[in-house]
Structure 1
């Protein structure tokens, strides 16, 4: 095989590994459940102290 074919195969394999890793990460984060907003009283306290 020529050098360019080897580089293409390595790049493709790395791309597949990154894609699979990303999908696993998304599934893991999605498995945690529904995202809930921060409590309003805490947000108001932070905004008041910033001013």
Structure 2
């Protein structure tokens, strides 16, 4: 086998490995459940001060 074929096979194997790792990470993040917004309690109220002349 010449060098270019070895490089092509190695590059393809790395690409497939990265794709599988990506799919596993996405599945793990998806198992965490539905994304819900953070609760609004505990935040300070917004105060707007305006000056008029």
- Give the TM-score range, shorter chain: 0.7 to 0.9
Instruction: Show structure 2 runs of 5+ residues with no match.
Output: 47-53
Q: Under a length normalisation based on structure 1, what TM-score does the superposition of the two structures give?
A: 0.77
Instruction: Show structure 1 runs of 5+ residues with no match.
Output: none
Question: 1-side partners of 2:16 and 2:8: how far apart?
Answer: 12
Structure 1 segments (4+ residues) deviating >2 Å: none
Asked if residue 36 in structure 1 is aligned to residue 43 in structure 2, the reply is no
Q: How many residues align?
A: 45
Alpha carbon RMSD of aligned pairs, Å? 1.4
Asked if residue 25 in structure 1 is aligned to residue 25 in structure 2, the reply is yes
Name the one with the larger helix percent. Answer: 1
Say which one has the larger Rg: 2
